[in-house]
Structure 1
């Protein structure tokens, strides 16, 4: 499986100029190729696009400066455009899972910039990373790379921070887990409530969020293209990065703890796009990062050979008693605790939902075992026979012999009698 390792670095003034030129060339090649694709009746191939926007463009006066940067990131930019169009068409045809992917758009100078180097365009020498026609860069090695990377991407975000992102091939490994399974119910005030009684509260983003909203109102009144507007835009980007970094740190630590301690992790499939339509809770829901937490848990479970499951969003986890199974119906969001009418047990709403989610794990595992048994039986019996609702046993009971066994015994007895009769006749002669 592939893993990404990201490190921050601080380029010199000369390297900043070289990187700015590289980002500009990559952006221009992308935009030129996208403009050709929009005008063409049939989507051209990557080789044809590279000849048009790179090879032939370097010979013109308007694009001669493309030869001043490495050719590898320019070719990769055209390849990335081909992947973007493929994802768009697969999404339109229904071949790609998830929400619909939009059509590729033109890149802007004020957005995040990136350039990817393949093998041959970069090398690691000690504590430095050499990039073609950029020079040696000294990243802050917060952790060691487990294997040699297959590619490296240079990133400059909206707050003018620089990163090196390496892609490395790693192999999954197994670590013994303390617990068998755990169910997790996600929320707003309490980010995660586990079936074992533990709770994880998300960081408070309200102070930074208020500052962002205030600066965004100021940005809307400023003149486009002015220096003050650009400075205000960078201030807003830095505040957004503070929230994103705080959230990412919290989600990484929580997901690592959960995956390390449990063999089976079960989450509920939330309809986030529908929940965001609630205008009173949309901003709070968007700040939580529920989808990012699910992706992190899924990736780390694959790395440590854990079983990760997602139950259906239509499961009534908050409407069923986790002790006796009595269903009391839908509850209002302001109701945080409920007492079962059947068994009299008082439940916390989120803890009860987490326990029901955890019970869904055993149901999923039992269903998979039954599917595997059905597949195994299908190799021995006729497919039409297995589709019937009759009970079949893999081994015949000792008291009652099966039809096949009885028939075989009858045939063997007849052969034995025939043999004995023949021997008796020979002896008499």
Structure 2
């Protein structure tokens, strides 16, 4: 048996008939040596009692968000972050909807929104509720947010219907817990990875700027993948509406010049990945006041070329061992990427099609082509998280080969 000694699980119990199985899960966790704290929703109290759960776990059971005693002993923020893993079982349609939409109106949903740890969800509901379009949309949101699912299983429901929606058995949930808590390989431990992401904004006047449609999603996904591999991860980001992945150090910037200065300040490093969509030009002289619309001709803007961040770092005296650029193109994607590789002096170009119909800018999926001196490797369409994980795996291999060659 894999020991979970020293590990702490926060178990959030939703209000469904499957809650009766939770006693067995708590017993299994205890036999593995895990500490199990419990949050019981108001609806769950209709199926299981705080007394029985406390007796099995040997821990206090938390039920109310606004309990003065509980908040003094351990605030809900600390409760969610003191655990190594959060487990939601049974995860009702209501709880899943709250998680997907960031609601926080009780102790369970507040703890889930406040956590910076991994989350495992065991759905349990009527087959029609599970198959409903709203539930399936919410499940997709949770997956994109990095939540892990176990189940649901298919079988007979308490209501007499048959199909998917049964909560996974306690031993299945335990297996998923063990898998998530086992030590992960961290081949980039002790290494530094610098990533740029998002757009830049080049001011025209105090209220207007030149920018683009980059969402930053691919860069943020790469930052998450890098920190998961143990790297010291620096994310230099233009303005985006994204949460910074846990463990990532984010440096916010606005302009291309700001981004270059931030990149140079983080040198030397081991890997640098430039996903940001940097504005090629800036206004030569920014207006000090808002430009006014007049009856005459529109104002004429004189533009100056911005610094080339990728080329500058690729030829820098403190150049990282591996430098990766991104090429966002709307036509002749690989041809432009090949030319960019030669022009910039980096080790690898990740090229993608960002034309209007591609759905890449602002979307959750990407189709990329890796362009290097060794040729072109085209990957099938996949989620941006999958692209990030696969790319970081490739860069780990490249870094190892570089290190061996230098020894």
Question: Which TM-score band applies after superposition, normalised by the shorter structure?
Answer: under 0.3
If each structure's strand is expressed as a fraction of its own residues, which one has the higher value?
2
- Work out which of the two has the higher radius of gyration on C-alpha atoms and give 1 or 2: 1
| Greater RCO (Cα-Cα under 8 Å, separation 6 or more) | 1
If each structure's helix is expressed as a fraction of its own residues, which one has the higher value?
1
TM-score between both structures, scaled by the size of structure 1: 0.23
TM-score between both structures, scaled by the size of structure 2: 0.24
